[in-house]
A = this chain, B = another copy of it.
């Protein structure tokens, strides 16, 4: 045949977009498959099904309900385990409320833009995950004394930059066997079996860590005596300035606050419209490193900041915290922002911190708002069900 047909024919190396390059067809195909949290859904303590962000590297595996599922736990352990769902349910059960964020959140706001899933700020969601503490499974198997990493393999399979792989990530053994955070092998989300796109029937949940650690469709756990060097650990998900850098691994979630865009939107620009007067602002804030202790709000594009009120955390250390702020709007144009700070002093930058993978960009959100003049702001003037006058204008 002459020409050979190899995996590299399907894959391109990582690249950065040219300075004025719009989002390409490949990025768009990812953006229409995966999805973010519509920001108005920040109002819900627990994100309703279908509004939580989803990022799938390859395909969502098709697992019909009557398919038996086995989780194997092996490698450097004394007693390898082979567990079905009933076996897992026989272990003690823990439920934890967790805010989960994609490590690539904010990527599409970087210049130059790393070409990958083009998130703006919306790759987040909060759910209650129920499952078995991973440390109990590892204790049952008996982890070897020289263990370094614990490697998790999902059933999702694909190619990335020429490398064929099952999705696979590791945690340091001290994290995997620790209880702060309590890592879960989860079989329920918000009290129901996991939806297909969230890992049905099993996924890892690592509170406080970015989404890449929460391996979905979990089918194997392997204890290793060498540091894991798989693609998603050593090639992807590292903070690098240059391609040849070894880079720092992406781990815990950087602090972020988001606000519920007030008023109502323009369809295309998503600019918000409010009327003069009191405009209650609210949102959520979270950090994977330490609890959020402070949220500030700016209505002048970050030039000045005011302290927002923080709701109690309700004992949910790993979930976002609600915050509120009162704003009195006058006619004009505004850019609203919120900024979170955590107990260890980490906060959010006003200028993005760039890296080649576009990870952990917790740049403060910018929400453009137009406050109408009072005389044009009468509610319902052009929205009465019986009237079509304003509707016919352009």
Contact = CB atoms under 8 A, between A and B. Distances in A.
Contacts of A160: 266-268
Interface in A261-286: 261, 264-271, 273
A158 interface: yes
A10 B228 contact: no
B31 A268 contact: no
A59 B268 CA distance: 12
A391 interface: yes
Interface stretch (A77-85, A229-237, A248-256, A291-299): A229-237
A91 interface: no
A373 B4 contact: yes
Copies of this chain held together in the complex: 2
A122 B11 CA distance: 23
A165 B385 CA distance: 10
A279 to B, nearest CB: 14
Contacts of A273: 7, 10, 159, 164
Contacts of A163: 382, 390-391, 393-394
B32 A118 contact: yes
Contact of A32 (B122, B269, B331): B122
B50 A195 contact: yes
Contacts of A90: none
Contacts of A394: 13, 161-163, 235
A60 B41 contact: yes
A159 to B, nearest CB: 4
Contacts of A139: none
Interface in A347-394: 370-373, 376, 382-383, 385-386, 388, 390-394
Contacts of A31: 28, 31-32
A337 interface: no
A197 interface: yes
Nearest to A61: B40
Nearest to A59: B40
Contact of A391 (B116, B229, B385): B229
Contact of A51 (B24, B197, B235): B197
Contact of A264 (B26, B62, B159): B159
A43 interface: yes
A264 B157 CA distance: 6
A158 B391 contact: no
B38 A36 contact: no
A224 B15 CA distance: 56
A178 interface: no
Max count, chain B CB within 10 A of own CB: residue among A24, A33, A34, A40? A33
Contact of A10 (B34, B196, B266): B266
Nearest to A52: B50
A23 B28 contact: yes
Given A161-B267, A220-B385, 9 more contacts: A10-B370, A11-B268, A22-B23, A48-B196, A158-B265, A163-B382, A164-B273, A166-B383, A229-B392
Cβ-closest 8 pairs across A and B: A22-B22, A35-B35, A50-B50, A23-B23, A31-B31, A230-B391, A10-B266, A10-B271
18 contacts: A7-B273, A12-B269, A22-B22, A26-B270, A31-B31, A33-B36, A41-B60, A41-B196, A50-B54, A50-B197, A159-B264, A159-B267, A160-B268, A161-B268, A164-B382, A165-B383, A229-B392, A231-B392
